[in-house]
């Protein structure tokens, strides 16, 4: 069980991505693994990103 110190911070941005404190390893349902060593990673929540599962701000284009 992770302690508070070990816990990742996840921020859900309304109408935008999910921000996760990095580094992270993302695994999709088909087994694809995407790794990022950035200090904050934007994970796509709308599935419009050309870089899915990472956010490329495609959510901004839809109104």
Region 30-47 average pLDDT? 92
Q: pTM for this one?
A: 0.77
38 versus 1: the higher-pLDDT residue is: 38
Region 9-15 average pLDDT? 90
Region 7-30 average pLDDT? 90
1 versus 16: the higher-pLDDT residue is: 16
Query: What percent of the residues of the chain are helix, what percent strand, and what percent coil, each to the nearest 5?
Result: 5, 30, 65
Beta pairing, strands 33-36 & 24-27: antiparallel
């Amino acid at each position: 069980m992770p302690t508070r110190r070990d816990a990742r911070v996840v921020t859900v941005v309304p109408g935008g991505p999910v921000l996760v404190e990095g580094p992270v390893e993302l695994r999709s349902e088909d087994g694809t693994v995407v790794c990022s060593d950035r200090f904050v990673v934007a994970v796509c929540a709308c599935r419009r990103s050309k870089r899915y599962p990472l956010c490329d701000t495609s959510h901004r284009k839809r109104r």
